[in-house]
C-alpha cells in the first residue's frame, strides 16, 4: 500500500464510527479533523469531498458487518444452521451493535432515501447483495433436501432482513434489546417450523 492509500484507509477507519453514530448531516469536517488528527487539506487531499468520504465509510462499515456475520454462518454445516447463524451473530453482539450506533445499512438507508442521492444506489445494492446471500443459503438448503421446495427463497430473505433491521431499530431507540431478541426468535421459529424439511 502506498502512503496515500494508507492515509486514505486511516481516514476511513477513523471516520467510520462517527458517520455511523452521527450520520452524514451530523458529521462535520471538524469531527473528522479531531478523529484523525489530520488537517482539512490532508483529508480533502485524499477525498474529493464529504460525499466521497461518506461513500467510502459506508462501504467499509458494510464490509465489516458482512465479515462478522459470515464468521458465524461459516461454522454451520446446514442451510437452516447458517440462517440461524445470522441470528446468533446479533444475539451475541447486540450490545456492540447498539453502542456503535446501530446497523450502518439501516442508518445509511434512512439518510440516503430522501437526502443523499449519491449514496442511495450503494445502499440499495448492499440490501440486494445481502438478500442474495440469504437467498443462496436457502436455495442450497432446498437442493440438499434441508429446506422445503415450496419456499420462495427471495421472499424469506427480504423478510429476514426486515425483521433484523426492525428489531435493531426498535431495540436501539427503546434502549431495550428485547425487541431485537424477539425478532431473532421469530426468524429462528420460521426456519425451524416453516422452512425445515
Q: Which pLDDT score, from 0 to 100, does residue 127 have?
A: 97
Q: Which pLDDT score, from 0 to 100, does residue 21 have?
A: 94
List, in order, residues 6 or more apart from 37 with CB less than 8 Å away.
Answer: none
Residue ranges of the domains in the chain? Answer: 58-195
Angle at which helices 79-99 and 117-143 pack, to 10 degrees? 150
Contact criterion met (CB below 8 Å) for 123 and 108: yes
Cell of 66: 458482512
In CATH, which superfamily holds the domain spanning 58-195?
Tetracycline Repressor, domain 2 (1.10.357.10)
| Residue that is written with C-alpha cell 436501539 in the block | 172
Along the chain (197 residues), what's the average pLDDT of each consecutive run of 10 residues?
90 96 94 95 92 96 96 98 98 95 94 90 96 98 98 98 97 96 98 96
Contact criterion met (CB below 8 Å) for 14 and 32: yes
Cell of 154: 427471495
**Taking the C-alpha atoms of 8, 69, 163 and 143 in order, what is their torsion angle to the nearest 10 degrees?**
130
What is this structure's pTM?
0.93
Amino acid at each position: 500500500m502506498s502512503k496515500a492509500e494508507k492515509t486514505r484507509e486511516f481516514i476511513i477507519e477513523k471516520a467510520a464510527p462517527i458517520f455511523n453514530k452521527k450520520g452524514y448531516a451530523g458529521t462535520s469536517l471538524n469531527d473528522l479533523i479531531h478523529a484523525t488528527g489530520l488537517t482539512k487539506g490532508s483529508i480533502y487531499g485524499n477525498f474529493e469531498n464529504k460525499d466521497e468520504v461518506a461513500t467510502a465509510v459506508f462501504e467499509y462499515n458494510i464490509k465489516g458487518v458482512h465479515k462478522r456475520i459470515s464468521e458465524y454462518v461459516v461454522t454451520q454445516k446446514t442451510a437452516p444452521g447458517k440462517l440461524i447463524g445470522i441470528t446468533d451473530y446479533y444475539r451475541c453482539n447486540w450490545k456492540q451493535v447498539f453502542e456503535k450506533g446501530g446497523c450502518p445499512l439501516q442508518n445509511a438507508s434512512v439518510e440516503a432515501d430522501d437526502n443523499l442521492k449519491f449514496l442511495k444506489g450503494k445502499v440499495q445494492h448492499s440490501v440486494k447483495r445481502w438478500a442474495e446471500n440469504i437467498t443462496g443459503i436457502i436455495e442450497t438448503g432446498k437442493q440438499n433436501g434441508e429446506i422445503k421446495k415450496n419456499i420462495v427463497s427471495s421472499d424469506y430473505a427480504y423478510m429476514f432482513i426486515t425483521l433484523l433491521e426492525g428489531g435493531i431499530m426498535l431495540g436501539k431507540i427503546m434502549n431495550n434489546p428485547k425487541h431485537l431478541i424477539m425478532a431473532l426468535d421469530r426468524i429462528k421459529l420460521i426456519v425451524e417450523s416453516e422452512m425445515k424439511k
